[in-house]
Amino acid sequence: MGQNLLEIATHNKDSLVIGVDPFLNGIASLIENCVNNKINNVLVYPKPIQEFLEQFKNIYFEKVFILFPDPWPKKKHQKRRVFKDKFIQILLERIKKNGEIYFATDNQDYYEQALHDLEIVKKTSHISIQKVDSNELVLTKYFQRAKKLGNNVNFLVIVKL
Ligand SMILES: C[S@@+](CC[C@H](N)C(=O)[O-])C[C@H]1O[C@@H](n2cnc3c(N)ncnc32)[C@H](O)[C@@H]1O
């Protein structure tokens, strides 16, 4: 876990980068990486992002990365998806003006649902939605996996205007 986060933290020493994920093995390997590479601008929160947003209401983000968030591709697990209209709305309230949300998935159904939900959000929030070439994306573990499987990766940037 954390390839994208480590890349950002390394190249933006004056920024605070927060990793939020309940997957403890991933959090542990991220911390190990930070220690080994003397990266000291990272905080971690080992719980779901919904809990983070609820707990720290005074934090406003410049960028939020939600990359390959779907570890449960089966249809019966769709209700567990995080990137849905209500969540996007809550996230937007916590993003600075001109701030960005990056969303990537290799699950075509998740991508289509995300686009649908973003259109719902767009009715009440001032946002732009752009498709980005996935070559712009840091090669995370699941991005590598998607490439190996030959899966198409959809990458979006949502800007709060
Ligand atoms: C398929 S992995 C992708 C990991 C990494 N982003 C990558 O690209 O390699 C999905 C990760 O999303 C995390 N996740 C799923 N729902 C989450 C939520 N609500 N809040 C925080 N993390 C979540 C999982 O614990 C898992 O580590």
Same domain, 48 and 74: no
Question: Same domain for 50 and 75?
Answer: no
Same domain, 79 and 52: no
Number of domains in the chain: 2
The residue contributing the CA closest to ligand 1 atom 18 is 48
Measured CA to CA, the distance from residue 43 to residue 15 in angstroms comes to 11
Question: What's 60-103 look like in SS3?
Answer: CEEEEEEECCCCCCCHHHHHHCCCCHHHHHHHHHCEEEEEEEEE
The H or E element that residue 138 is part of is: none
- Could you tell me if 41 and 22 lie in one domain? yes
161 and 105, same structural domain? yes
pLDDT at 79: 77
CATH number, domain of 90, equals 3.40.50.150
26 shares its domain with 68 = no
Domain extent for 136: 62-161
Taking the model in full, what pTM does it have? 0.95
State yes or no: pLDDT of 97 exceeds 70.
yes
pLDDT tens for 39-87 read 999 999 999 999 999 999 999 999 999 999 976 667 777 778 999 999 9
Is the pLDDT at 139 greater than 70? The verdict is yes
Ligand 1 pocket check for 67: Cβ under 6 Å: yes
Q: Are residues 102 and 145 in the same domain?
A: yes
Spacing, Cα 83 to ligand 1 middle (Å): 11
Domain end position, chosen among 37, 59, 81: 59
